[in-house]
Amino acid sequence: MLSFNAHGFSLTVTVGIADENKGKRRWTQVQASLLGYPCATLEGLATIKAWLEAFKRDQIKKKPSEPILGDDENGVTAGGRQRQGERHLYLCRRLGSQDRDEIYLDYIRAATLEVAVNKAIQKLAPQIGWGKET
Whether the per-residue pLDDT at 10 is higher than 60: the answer is yes
Model confidence at 75, in pLDDT bands (50, 70, 90)?
Answer: very high
Q: Which of 40, 77, 72, 42 is nearest to 60 (CA)?
A: 77
Q: Which CATH class is domain 2-124?
A: alpha beta
Average confidence (pLDDT) over 86-113: 90
pTM exceeding the 0.85 threshold for the entire prediction: no
